[in-house]
């Protein structure tokens, strides 16, 4: 049986120092917190052994150090693998049409955007959208109708605004 009281006292007395140590070792606060959490989890699992250690806090620091070293090794191997395989392919810039459509969609109410996306991107019928959105089918039809009409108007405005003006050529 574990002596939870003594572990709790040990944790409260040493955790802040352990996180500072982890931060010094890793240079990253989030990573330090993860490593320290894992170290204390291991200490809890083996508390009957750790509690009789001459310096239980040094045991936790040793575990944090080893975990940090293991993560560093894994990241080094991962970087080497990624470097051998080359980076990800370049992603082309979005087309003008994509930019216009995205800008127009952002101006629609969320319910209309969702209905249009489910209907046109996922090919979902009105009844399935109604079930997913927990609304009557008539509401979905209304969203789709209003969304299409508003989208058409917004896109028409965008395209007329972007047409090049006629220039006087002499």
Mean pLDDT, rounded, of the chain: 89
- Decide if pLDDT at 169 tops 70: no
> What was the pLDDT predicted at 89?
80
> What was the pLDDT predicted at 91?
87
Instruction: For residue range 54-80, list pLDDT tens digits in order.
Output: 999 999 999 999 999 999 999 898 888
List domains and CATH numbers for the chain. 4-85 (1.10.1740.10), 96-162 (1.10.10.10)
Other beta carbons less than 10 A from residue 63's beta carbon: 21
The residue with greater pLDDT, 48 or 165, is: 48
- Decide if pLDDT at 164 tops 90: no
Q: Distance of alpha carbon 101 from its chain centroid, rounded? A: 25
> What was the pLDDT predicted at 170?
46
Nearest to residue 61, comparing CAs of 38, 84, 81, 77? 38
Contact between 25 and 64 (Cβ < 8 Å)? yes
103 vs 117: CA distance, rounded Å = 14
Instruction: For residue range 6-40, list pLDDT tens digits in order.
Output: 999 999 999 999 999 999 999 999 999 999 999 99
Contact between 41 and 28 (Cβ < 8 Å)? no
118 vs 125: CA distance, rounded Å = 8
């Amino acid at each position: 049986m574990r002596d939870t009281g003594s572990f709790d006292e040990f944790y409260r007395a040493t955790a802040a120092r352990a996180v500072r140590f982890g931060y010094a070792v890793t240079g990253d606060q989030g990573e330090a917190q993860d490593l320290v959490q894992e170290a204390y989890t291991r200490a809890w699992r083996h508390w009957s052994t750790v509690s009789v250690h001459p310096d239980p806090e040094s045991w936790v620091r040793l575990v944090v150090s080893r975990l940090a070293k293991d993560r560093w090794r894994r990241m080094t191997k991962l970087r080497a693998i990624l470097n051998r395989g080359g980076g990800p392919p370049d992603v082309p810039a979005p087309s003008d049409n994509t930019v216009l459509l995205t800008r127009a969609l952002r101006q629609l109410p969320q319910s209309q955007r969702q209905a249009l996306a489910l209907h046109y991107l996922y090919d979902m019928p009105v009844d399935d959208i109604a079930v997913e959105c927990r609304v009557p089918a008539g509401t979905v039809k209304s969203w789709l109708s209003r969304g299409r009409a508003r989208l058409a108007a917004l896109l028409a405005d965008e395209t007329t605004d972007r047409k090049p003006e006629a220039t006087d050529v002499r």
